[in-house]
Structure 1
């Protein structure tokens, strides 16, 4: 990995997302805890990236800062050519609405709405009309064509997460951030969701950043980035389950990066 320290000079050269010297310090009742320590990282477009590391390594904090859900103490997080740290609250809200998609461990579906209504809700709230052709393609890709009139309580966990994926993809965001998207699923449903995320990257050109602790999930990505003590300590290109397990065992065996 080549650490990114300054943004590219030409807008077309910007990665999908990037961190430059990103630091996040929490004040825990007078005790300062460094969650991120000068992290520099770029996320290439059209790739599936996993962020991994032990509990407390800063994985979710990094994802939240990159996605504009949290503000760094210093440094900068970028989406494309835009420095998130320079945006007003309203500009940041619009950025998250128009250019970023989110998939979480909890599905965050409204139980009283149908599958179709859940998928299209953010677009409708934004005052936009969904692109019918893209909506049809997303529904077909995620295998939801025969579930559109159902409501979330009538679906399995895997089906609900597919709905959440469809909702994130519908606005055609530049990048999707996924925080443990298979954490509430059994192994079969989790594998199904991962396959669909892979397909959205490799067939539809989506960019996805996924926080996960699961070596199997990481093996579905193009790249695994490892954090420890708030710092990027390693990465694997085209990770396999065994290579990820071997790297994670180093944390368990030594307690060090």
Structure 2
């Protein structure tokens, strides 16, 4: 079943991100693992999208390919209409720095830099200054005001996660990817982060794509894509917590797949 809809963008505007017959294979021969299997997918500009699925379903691999952090084995990934396969390493680095923010599961903070220096690192590399109002909005929303002078080793896991999120948001990129961005946060901090991501979509026109196992996090999105065995298994528009949980149970074989929000998108 194909979920690809080429006409989803108004007035010919390209999607914020797009996968076209995208596959990623690790290894070769009998040992080959097809992490992502010929996925066609559009992420509309100015939307909040969640990707869900069991461990090993290809969620993080898909995210890495769409963000230009990994190159697909076949097919193509696009950001804002730009085919990433046509970029050399320098061009790809520039595109990621200027247009894309990414929150990693492992934080990827520089241990010798303070929290503030880590947050501002992408801007410094691009020889840009932070926008003061937006910088303070991000810092206050993530509760980092009293931790800016601390190095990563002096921060808890949740605090390190918030620094990583701030680093991804501070440049105000048009497209932000998050790999379990709330995974190391308590309920209150996670809720504040999701509210900030929602605001960045609604008020600033940014595009947010997150991988998550949390139905409550997915319910903040406009659309949820469900992956299984490297392929798209289902889609849910205007998700609710109960709706997401119903889809997950159905995909795990514990019940029938509920009707999709658009004709032809059910099981």
The corresponding residue for 1:216 is 216
TM-aligned CA deviation for residue 31 of structure 1: 2.5
The corresponding residue for 2:60 is 60
Q: Secondary structure at the match of 1:23?
A: strand
Structure 2 residue ranges without an equivalent (≥5): 258-266
- Distance of 1:230 and 1:190 partners within structure 2: 28
TM-score by length of structure 1 reads 0.87
* Contact persistence 1:14–1:80 (CA under 8 A): yes
Q: Secondary structure at the match of 2:172?
A: coil
Deviation string 1:100-141 (CA, Å, 9 cap, x unpaired) is 101122223334433322211121122223233432343344
- Distance of 1:166 and 1:156 partners within structure 2: 15
The corresponding residue for 1:180 is 180
* Contact persistence 1:106–1:184 (CA under 8 A): no
Deviation string 1:162-218 (CA, Å, 9 cap, x unpaired) is 322221112221201101112223334333322332232223322111011221221
- Distance of 1:5 and 1:203 partners within structure 2: 26
TM-score by length of structure 2 reads 0.84
Relative to structure 2, which stretch is displaced further, 120-129 or 58-67? 120-129
Q: Secondary structure at the match of 1:200?
A: helix
Q: How does 1:158-237 map to 2 (within 5 A)?
A: 158-237=158-237
- Distance of 2:30 and 2:208 partners within structure 1: 36
Structure 1 residue ranges without an equivalent (≥5): none
Q: How does 1:27-42 map to 2 (within 5 A)?
A: 27-28=27-28, 30-42=30-42
Q: Structure 1 154/69 Cα, relative in aligned 2: closer, same or farther at 3 Å?
A: same
The corresponding residue for 1:104 is 104
How many corresponding residue pairs? 256
* Contact persistence 1:161–1:193 (CA under 8 A): no
The corresponding residue for 2:4 is 3
- Distance of 1:88 and 1:7 partners within structure 2: 29
- Distance of 2:206 and 2:8 partners within structure 1: 22
TM-aligned CA deviation for residue 83 of structure 1: 0.2
Deviation string 1:219-245 (CA, Å, 9 cap, x unpaired) is 121111011122112111121111111
- Distance of 1:228 and 1:4 partners within structure 2: 20
* Contact persistence 2:165–2:181 (CA under 8 A): no
The corresponding residue for 2:264 is none
- Distance of 1:7 and 1:187 partners within structure 2: 34
The corresponding residue for 1:136 is 136
Q: Structure 1 196/155 Cα, relative in aligned 2: closer, same or farther at 3 Å?
A: farther
Q: How does 1:83-102 map to 2 (within 5 A)?
A: 83-102=83-102
- Distance of 1:201 and 1:116 partners within structure 2: 24
Relative to structure 2, which stretch is displaced further, 123-132 or 38-47? 123-132
- Distance of 2:140 and 2:54 partners within structure 1: 36
- Distance of 1:135 and 1:254 partners within structure 2: 45
- Distance of 2:26 and 2:7 partners within structure 1: 25
Q: How does 1:115-126 map to 2 (within 5 A)?
A: 115-126=115-126
Relative to structure 2, which stretch is displaced further, 201-210 or 47-56? 201-210
